[in-house]
Amino acid sequence: MNLNFDGVKITGVQLILPRREISFDSEMDDYNFTSAQSAKLKAVMGYDKRRIVENGITSSDLIVQGFEKLIKSEDIDPNTIDALIVVTQTPDYIMPGTSYIIHSRLSFGQNMLCLDINQGCAGYIVGLMTAFSLINKNNFKKIALVNVDVVSQLVGQRDRNSRPIIGDAGSITIIESDKTGQPINGNIKVDGSGWDALMVPAGGMKIRSSHETSIVSEDANGNERSLDNLVMKGDAVFNFVMQSVPDMINNLMNESKHQISDVDNFLFHQPNPFMLKKLANKLKIPLEKMPTNLVQKYGNSSGVSIPAVICSEFDLSYFKKNRLICMAGFGVGLTWGSLLMRMYDLTFLEVLEV
């Protein structure tokens, strides 16, 4: 599905990172690999460091601290926010939505919309599309988009497929109505037949968490996990990305009447450097235009990875000039989506460690 938006712009992005840093080297003994195998894995996949929350810290905890900083520094006025959209796969509770928890802990008024979206790796793209649609078709003037996940809490300690790469983070993006805003092109696709490529089997209504679902077992590849843990079918995800994402980006360029060379930066979801470099090669994107090193610094933070790239790779001065940005997210669902838009004159762009 191809989409078009206008009259909107991003005016600020904040990344919220846990202070706790874990190195791949410190966890090697958990993965049933020899030292040589671990060293090779680290080199090929780009494993190094990741940020994870302390036990007991939830998605809302990260985001509330981010909002408190923005409000204190007067980067945002909570009374001007018309909608709070929260995109997460790790809600504080099954019900109510995490947006209501965040609303209750801050100085937001009653005259606003709270909306929760269950989405992962494409969550930033889905969240932006939702915000753009609300502003385009309704009376919303300013929307706060939250992306947050603490998926590290769902990964088995001896799951060598997923644990070395999963990180936690949150982000807050402010989207505003802008009558002079330039056209935005986007697309979104879904293949529900791959719903089990990235999943947590237990914890919902289909399989309730219990003592039995917490029992750890080893799979054929040497990963140890329970039904309460994240399952990621790495080969299936890799093949899906390599087959689907290049076509999506080429379609986006055709629809927008742009060339790859016109784009200043390609800000893609960050699963690992290996996959991103393969994508860049397939699309003939110069690596200097496409950051690939986020996982080595923070880990794969799911839907937060695109705003994490924005905040950690650029500063406000970069966006004083009008930049043509291509964003793409792909994963859980299976879902893949992209946006081609201008970014300029941001009022804040920061990394907050909590």
Full pLDDT tens readout for the chain, 354 residues: 999 999 999 999 999 999 999 988 777 777 766 667 767 777 767 678 999 999 999 999 999 999 999 999 999 999 999 999 999 999 999 999 999 999 999 989 999 999 999 999 999 999 999 999 999 887 899 999 999 999 999 998 888 778 888 999 999 999 999 988 789 999 999 999 999 999 999 999 999 999 999 999 988 878 889 999 999 888 899 899 999 999 999 999 999 999 999 999 999 999 988 899 999 999 999 999 999 989 889 999 999 999 999 999 999 999 999 999 999 999 999 999 999 999 999 999 999 999
**DSSP at 218:** E
Query: What whole-number distance in Å separates Cα of residue 127 and Cα of residue 117?
Result: 8
Has this prediction a pTM greater than 0.85? yes
DSSP H or E segment with residue 240: helix 234-256
For the stretch 277-321, pLDDT in tens is 999 999 999 999 999 989 889 999 999 999 999 999 999 999 999
Domains within the chain, CATH numbers bracketed: 1-354 (3.40.47.10)
Residues 141/177, Cβ–Cβ less than 8 Å: yes
Q: What is the pLDDT of residues 329-343, one digit of tens each?
A: 999 999 999 999 999
Q: Is 107 left (phi over 0), alpha (psi -120 to 50) or beta?
A: alpha
User: In what helix (H) or strand (E) does residue 143 lie, and over which residues does it extend?
Assistant: strand 142-149
CA pair distance 90, 96, nearest whole angstrom:
13
- How does DSSP classify residue 74? T
